[in-house]
Structure formats: C-alpha cells, structure tokens
Amino acid sequence: MYIYLNGSIVHQSEASISPFDHGYLYGLGVFETFRTYHGHPFLLGNHLDRLRNGLAALNIKADIQEEQIRQVIRALLRKNKWEDAYCRLNVSGGPCEIGLQTAPYEKRTIILFQKELPPHRPLREKEGVILQLRRSTPEVEERLKSHHYLNNLAAKREIGPSPDKEGIFLTGDGYLCEGITSNMFWIKEGEIHTPSIETGLLNGITRQFILALAQHLQIPVREGLYRISELDTASEIFFTNSVQEIIPVNQVGNRVYPGGSGLYVRKLHEYYQKYVMYLYSIEDMKEGNHHATND
C-alpha cells in the first residue's frame, strides 16, 4: 500500500516518523476518517474544517488546503489501483524536544493513508450494548478527534471483537452519550432524538449531516440529555459514522428494534445515497448547490 507522508507518496514499507514526534510521545495530534464514492471524498470540506479547528486547539501550525488533499486522495487511489477507499488524514505535532511544549508546533507530520472499500455498502445491523465504562470528559472545551483513544479502545475490549456490536457510552452522570466509534440517534413519535454536544460527545460529520438532512426532510429533531430509559419507548435506533454511514440497531438489552427495516432508517439511508458522490460540504446541501464532479 502507498501512503502520503509530508508531501511525498511512498510505499508503507518505506514510511517513517521521528521517535520524538509529539504525536507519539504525548498524543499531540488529530485525525479525520472519511470515505470516497467513485473517487469522490464525501463531505471532505467539513472534515477539513473540523481538522483545522482541532489543530488550532492543539497549537499545531499546518496549512491544510482542500484542493491539495483532493489531489492526494486521487493520486493514492490511482497508485493503489483502487476505486474507493476508507481514508485517514492524520496530523501530529511533529518532532520536538522532549517535554511538554507550550510554543506552537511548527514541524507537523502529515500522513494520509487508505484502505480499499467496495463501491457500495448495504445497511448492516448491529446490537447496541450499554457500556459499564463511562465516557471520558473532553480534553479541551469540545471533544477533538484526537490521538487520545484509550477510552474507546478499553470500551471495545469490554464488548469484544464482534463487528455486529457497538458499545453505547454513558456520561459520568449517566446520560446517553455516543457509540465507541459512532454517534447515536433514535426515533420517538415521529421525531429524531440524539444526545447533545453538552454530553461531551464527538460532533461527528455524519451526525451533522443527518441533522441537516432531517431539517431538509422536515423531520423534527430534539437534542438533549437523555437517560437509558428513553430507548425503551424508541421505535427505531441507529448509529452513524463516516465510513459505515447509517447503522441500524436491532437490539439493546432485551428490547428488539426493526433494524434495517425501520421506516426512518430506510428513508434517511435512501436520501443519504443521493448526495454521496457530489457533496463536499453540508452547507452546499442546505443551499441546494450540489452537482456532479469529476473526482
């Protein structure tokens, strides 16, 4: 596999970073995961905006230009001879002196790598499992998509390796928060419900897209602080992330849900697919300014 590293495309066997990179020593780094559809990086603009916000919070100086990243994505797809891929764009503080640094990070490390994906992913149901481990609080004011992933890793170990289960984090106060690698939603009396950012969740790009899509479809949305008991009266539950899209839930505890046959899940999935090969940003959907591209 070929990857992009600090301005060059190299084979993974030839890639290396400094042992003094503060992304390695202290977790000073943020990343974005997204996927392509026939080569188009869906919602890339929103992912890069969030990445830039994370870099600013960590005081890492990096000039991340959308057009340049588009070109790198295309080049890697060609080099690896793939049509579509999972993409991970990773930016760390780069090599510095040992010790906690307060000055800006000027020698950042930028890596973009891919993993081949099939051109179409059908709806895949999962069981939701309430975790005993609570969600950690954000490192700064709002949760970053950062290298600090121990909380997620420990949660995955708690539920085991099955790809058919997703853990559901509660906050320290016992409110529903998010999945291990996803955001969560449920339907109740014709309305979409989802935990608010106040819970300390990661404000996922797909989460933001679903909220905008619901507004476009005139489906009422409620964000708030919710207890587990809220799920007992939900008619449908689903998770979201940028690679698996909409993930229907078929069971939480002893309660069974319709999964992929749910009315709202199917409707949202249908409309989701209408945009995946065109949109670079959620704002373009709101403005009705989407069209086919050559990516």
Nearest residue to 278 via CA among 41, 35, 4: 41
The answer, yes or no, to whether residue 17 has pLDDT greater than 50, is yes
Parent domain of 239: 126-282
Determine the 3-state secondary structure of 65 from DSSP: coil
How many domains are contained in the chain? 2
274: phi then psi, degrees, rounded to nearest 5: -70, -20
pTM above 0.85, yes or no: yes
Which of 87, 116, 145 is a domain's end point?
116
The answer, yes or no, to whether residue 45 has pLDDT greater than 60, is yes
Distance, in Å, from the CA atom of 55 to the CA atom of 31, rounded to the nearest integer, reads 9
What mean pLDDT value characterizes the chain? Answer: 95
Q: What is the percentage of the chain residues whose pLDDT exceeds 70?
A: 97
| pLDDT at site 76 | 98
Q: Does 232 fall in a domain?
A: yes
The whole-number average pLDDT for the span 116-144 is 92
Which of 83, 116, 149 is a domain's end point?
116
Beta pairing partners, 238: 185, 248
The answer, yes or no, to whether residue 293 has pLDDT greater than 60, is no
Beta pairing partners, 42: none
Nearest residue to 219 via CA among 190, 260, 244: 190
The whole-number average pLDDT for the span 278-292 is 77
SS (H, E, C) 69-133: HHHHHHHHHHHHCCCCEEEEEEEECCECCCCCCCCCECCCEEEEEEEECCCCCCCCCEEEEECCC
Which of 116, 136, 159 is a domain's end point?
116
Could you tell me if 190 and 100 lie in one domain? no
The answer, yes or no, to whether residue 291 has pLDDT greater than 60, is no
Could you tell me if 87 and 132 lie in one domain? no
The answer, yes or no, to whether residue 194 has pLDDT greater than 70, is yes
| pLDDT at site 236 | 98
Q: Does 228 fall in a domain?
A: yes
| pLDDT at site 289 | 60
Q: Does 215 fall in a domain?
A: yes
Could you tell me if 157 and 272 lie in one domain? yes
The answer, yes or no, to whether residue 213 has pLDDT greater than 80, is yes
The answer, yes or no, to whether residue 26 has pLDDT greater than 90, is yes
Q: Does 288 fall in a domain?
A: no
The answer, yes or no, to whether residue 292 has pLDDT greater than 60, is no
The answer, yes or no, to whether residue 295 has pLDDT greater than 70, is no
The whole-number average pLDDT for the span 192-218 is 98
| pLDDT at site 290 | 52
Could you read off the pLDDT of 228-261 as tens digits, one per residue?
999 999 999 999 999 999 999 999 999 999 999 9
| pLDDT at site 294 | 40
Nearest residue to 165 via CA among 148, 181, 145: 181
Could you read off the pLDDT of 79-113 as tens digits, one per residue?
999 999 999 999 999 999 999 999 999 999 999 99
Helix extents (H) in the chain = 22-25, 44-58, 66-80, 150-159, 205-216, 263-275, 282-286
Could you tell me if 104 and 212 lie in one domain? no
Q: Does 121 fall in a domain?
A: no
Given a contact cutoff of 8 angstroms between Cβ atoms, the answer to whether 91 and 29 are in contact is yes
Could you tell me if 131 and 111 lie in one domain? no
Could you read off the pLDDT of 133-155 as tens digits, one per residue?
999 999 899 999 999 999 999 99
